[in-house]
Amino acid sequence: MWCNQLKSKKKNFKAWLLTIVSITIIVPLAWLLLIRMEGEKPSVGPLPEGPAIGVSQTIHIHVSDTKSGIKQVRLSCLQNDKETILFERDFPSAGFLKGGTDNMTDADVLFEPAKLGIKDGKAVLHLVAGDFSWRKWGKGNRTDIRKQVIIDSVAPKAEVLSRSHNVAQGGSALAVYRLSEPCLESGVQVGKKFFPGHAGYFSTPDIFLAFFALDHTQGRDTRLFLKAVDSAGNSTKTEFPYYIRGRAFKKDTLKISDRFLARKMPEFEISDSKDTGLDPVEKFLKINRDLRKANFKKIMSIIQKTENRLFWKGAFSRLPRSARRAGFADQREYVHNGRVIDHQVHMGIDLASVKRAAVPASNSGRVVFCSPLGIYGKTVMLDHGFGLFSMYAHLSRIDVEKGQVLAKGDILGKTGRTGMAAGDHLHFGMMVHNTFVNPVEWWDGTWIKNNVMTKINDVTAGLK
């Protein structure tokens, strides 16, 4: 019996020893193998979205591998069974048991096909990334992506079809042009501002209309040219004849009375709690500056989209039987108790008629905005097509809905004094893409004939 007990103890000791060995050696080894044999491939950022590569393009490479670490990254271009290496890098190991030292990498690769002997035509971008996993007998996990591209080193050609381009400071103009190929972007560059062109008016899709403008600060030294960028990123600049007429704008003084402040300031809410204790003058300045900027930003966001359709025809109309109270780009000086407190520019024309006069659409267009708009009060905006918009502000009521198409003369609301208006009137504005322009030009049928319709008609006649 004693012998049996001894044998049993030895057997238990062996089992205990085997358990200890398993815990101290086999389990860590199994855990190590599980970690080092992980099967997750490296994560690779996308190759360029565009279908084409131009004369020069920077390709951004992003690779990450949080488990085993990055072992190698290679980017190449395949064309006609020839591989050209664009980028290749091997990453260091942190040790046999630890994997790689780098879990993430970014690189910008300048790709200039012609310098590498790669010709225009079809090609394949090939990106490979591997890690330090022990999978596949130590070769690791591998991510392999390929993208078909077109190598295109030829810049697009742009031919200006319209002839004279006379534009006044703060005024509008039209250029008509033809492109040699479809482009991602084309239009007229005016100083630092860009005015996109639009197809859709002419029967052929390669001819574009681009309404453009000079803002009130852009004078005779402003440079104008036609710009086009194709899908490969190749760009071209085409000069065209133009003449800029400089202009000085009127200075105006607006007296801000305590009575006006007492009546108007309560109409505006200031959401920022730190501004709730402002006195009437401080609140006026907050509204006249900050809210004005916010309203301008809102207007610009609304008019980013336009229809490739010429809704309007002939001269734009002004408010019937109205008198002009303030002009376009008036340099306003705000005075309170004999002290100048602010300066702003009036980006429209104020027209006064009878109280709550019916406001007709100045020309045919689609309603793109019809709501209260800060300092402008109740406002309606119409898209007349190809980047041309009109604006009707300080209305007492709005009688149209967003999306509605109005004919010239349709009533869209009534004049009022909502927003920052001291008395009943209509603030009328015109915009070309991202720029307020002088509405007086658009009220002039002769100006429209000479600067817009003659150009369009001449091109149309040439297509027949």
- When pLDDT is cut at 50, 70 and 90, the band that residue 142 belongs to is very high
- Selection from 41, 82, 98 nearest residue 64 by Cα: 41
pTM of the predicted model as reported, rounded to 2 decimal places: 0.84
Q: Where are the beta strands (DSSP E) in 231-320?
A: 235-238, 243-245, 251-255
For 440, the token pair is: 């007086």
Residue range(s) in the chain whose domain bears CATH number 2.70.70.10: 251-433
For 73, the token pair is: 């990254």
Average pLDDT over residues 300-304: 95
**Res 273: pLDDT:** 45
Residue-wise pLDDT tens digits, 148-167 = 999 999 999 999 999 999 99
Residue 2 has pLDDT above 70, yes or no: no
Residue 126 has pLDDT above 90, yes or no: yes
Q: What is the CATH number of domain 158-247+453-463?
A: 2.60.40
Residue 439 has pLDDT above 70, yes or no: yes
Lowest mean pLDDT among 88-92, 270-274, 297-301, 456-460: 270-274
Question: Residue 325: CB partners within 8 Å, gap ≥ 6?
Answer: 350, 351, 352, 425
**Res 96: pLDDT:** 77
Q: What is the CATH number of domain 251-433?
A: 2.70.70.10
Beta bridge partners of 351: 324, 426
For 292, the token pair is: 């004005």
Scanning the structure block, which residue is given the tokens 């006195």?
279
First-to-last C-alpha distance (Å) of the chain: 120
Residue range(s) in the chain whose domain bears CATH number 2.60.40: 43-151, 158-247+453-463
Cα 172–chain centre separation: 22
Residue-wise pLDDT tens digits, 20-53 = 656 666 555 555 555 677 889 999 988 888 899 9
For all residues of the chain together, what is the average pLDDT? 92
Residue 135 has pLDDT above 80, yes or no: yes
C-alpha–C-alpha distance, residues 336 and 285, integer Å: 11
DSSP letters spanning 369-410 = EEEE-GGG-EEEEEEEETTEEEEEEEESEE---TT-EE-TT-
Residue-wise pLDDT tens digits, 228-261 = 999 999 999 999 999 999 999 999 999 999 999 9
Class of domain 43-151: mainly beta
